[in-house]
Amino acid sequence: MNNNLRKFCVAPMMGYTTPHARKLYRILSKKAFLFTEMISSKTILHAKNRDLIIENNHQNPIALQVGGAEYKDLIACAKIAQDYNYNEINLNVGCPSKAVQKGNFGACLMKKKKLVRDCLSAMANNTNIEVSMKCRIGIGNKFNYDFFHEFIDEIIKSGIKIIYVHARNAILNGLNPKKNRTIPPLNYDFVYRIKKNYPYIQFILNGGINSLDDAYKLSKKFDGVMLGRLIKVDPFCLSNIDKLFFNQTNNNNIYQNIIIEYFDYIKNRIGHDSIFRLLSPLLHIFFSTPNGKNIKSEINLNMKNYEIDKLESIFLEFIGKQKVVI
């Protein structure tokens, strides 16, 4: 297994790590390991527009994240992931939302370690694709290393070798997913300790990494790092990853070219997906700029009218004028 492949990962984020956002990420970095959003096993199996939802348009290395807990469904999903040329299928054992709990998957599965073990081994034994898991460090208000250790001990009996850990507990009652990403305290030490217990497993650290400098430092201490919200608000920081983490240069420092390449991609998709979904990965450029609001309303107007060439000019002009540092 390539131990460097997951040195820098972009976390799965529902509503954000769409196929389109991933296209932008891939223009910005050839090396970052990408994730889809979490997609439920039922959606993967039965959605009429499956191609649109899980397409992997040469975005490797990339994992398909699935939510579910039924062996048969998960095996079928793993086979689909393999057919769509994903590098990995990842089981979500970290989402605390009420809807997901109701479906009996996500973080509540940390209380059912044998079921998770069996789901993972079912996928691994019936396909050739790499199988992995993303979990929290515990459930509820209190830290409990023994609970985490026993959970991981059971999980690795499935034979999986890669575990992404969002290093905070999930609180299943009373906190929505957003608060579950800020209120439970971080505890990187648990991830450090579990790695010492299982040195042959890759543990990728996730949670609260707010700068590339921190990410780089932590990547020396852990098998890899996974970042979510930093990429969500500033996807353009990905243009630094190949150099910083992999010592490889890429040609993406001509920022206008990034926009042109992304618009070429969009133009082929107009009519197949909503213009908002297509453009939303770029809209973050305007978030922290003083006149961002005005431009956003101009963009909104042009989006309504499907003025794609006009939109491209606005983006290019903005970037040229602002000398946006991306």
Ligand X SMILES: Cc1cc2nc3c(=O)[nH]c(=O)nc-3n(C[C@H](O)[C@H](O)[C@H](O)COP(=O)(O)O)c2cc1C
Q: Which residue, 161 or 181, is less far from ligand X as judged by CB?
A: 181
- Residue 285 beta carbon to ligand X: minimum distance, rounded to whole angstroms: 18
Residue recorded with tokens 């905070």: 168
Does residue 208 belong to the site contacting ligand X (CB under 6 A)?
A: yes
- Four-residue CA torsion sign, 270, 271, 274, 277: negative
* End-to-end Cα distance, the chain: 32
The residues in 33-62 that bind ligand X, with binding defined as CB under 6 A, are 37-38
Q: How far apart are the C-alpha atoms of 61 and 7, rounded to whole Å?
A: 12
Query: Who's near 146: CB < 8 A, 6+ residues apart?
Result: none
The 219-258 contact track toward ligand X, x by CB under 6 A, reads: --------xxxx-x--------------------------
Does residue 13 belong to the site contacting ligand X (CB under 6 A)?
A: yes
Q: Which segment (13-21, 70-78, 97-105, 121-129) binds ligand X by CB under 6 A?
A: 13-21
* C-beta separation of 15 from 228 below 8 A: no
What DSSP character marks residue 12? Answer: P
* C-beta separation of 195 from 218 below 8 A: no
Does residue 77 belong to the site contacting ligand X (CB under 6 A)?
A: no
- Residue 119 beta carbon to ligand X: minimum distance, rounded to whole angstroms: 15
Torsion of CA 37, 41, 46, 51, to 10 degrees: 30
Among 92, 132, 169, 252, binds ligand X (CB under 6 A): 92
Report residue 132: phi and psi, to 5°. Answer: -140, 175
135 as an active site residue: the answer is: no
* C-beta separation of 155 from 120 below 8 A: yes
Does residue 132 belong to the site contacting ligand X (CB under 6 A)?
A: no
Does residue 185 belong to the site contacting ligand X (CB under 6 A)?
A: no
- Residue 191 beta carbon to ligand X: minimum distance, rounded to whole angstroms: 13
Q: Which residue, 15 or 320, is less far from ligand X as judged by CB?
A: 15
DSSP string computed for 239-283: GGHHHHHH----STT-HHHHHHHHHHHHHTTBTTB-HHHHHHHHH
Q: Find the catalytic residue in 95, 108, 119, 237.
A: 95
Site residue total, ligand X (CB under 6 A): 24
Report residue 174: phi and psi, to 5°. Answer: 95, -10
- Residue 302 beta carbon to ligand X: minimum distance, rounded to whole angstroms: 26
Residue recorded with tokens 């397409």: 55
Q: Which residue, 93 or 129, is less far from ligand X as judged by CB?
A: 93
The 153-182 contact track toward ligand X, x by CB under 6 A, reads: -------------x--------------x-
Does residue 25 belong to the site contacting ligand X (CB under 6 A)?
A: no
- Cis peptide bond N-terminal to 184, omega within 30: no
Residue nearest to ligand X (CB): 228
Q: Which residue, 20 or 302, is less far from ligand X as judged by CB?
A: 20
* C-beta separation of 149 from 197 below 8 A: yes
- Residue 281 beta carbon to ligand X: minimum distance, rounded to whole angstroms: 13
Query: Who's near 21: CB < 8 A, 6+ residues apart?
Result: 235, 280, 281
Q: Which segment (20-28, 73-81, 207-215, 260-268) binds ligand X by CB under 6 A?
A: 207-215
What DSSP character marks residue 286? Answer: G
Which stretches of the chain bind ligand X, using CB under 6 A? 11-16, 37-38, 65, 92, 94-95, 134, 166, 181, 206-209, 227-230, 232
Catalytic residues: 95
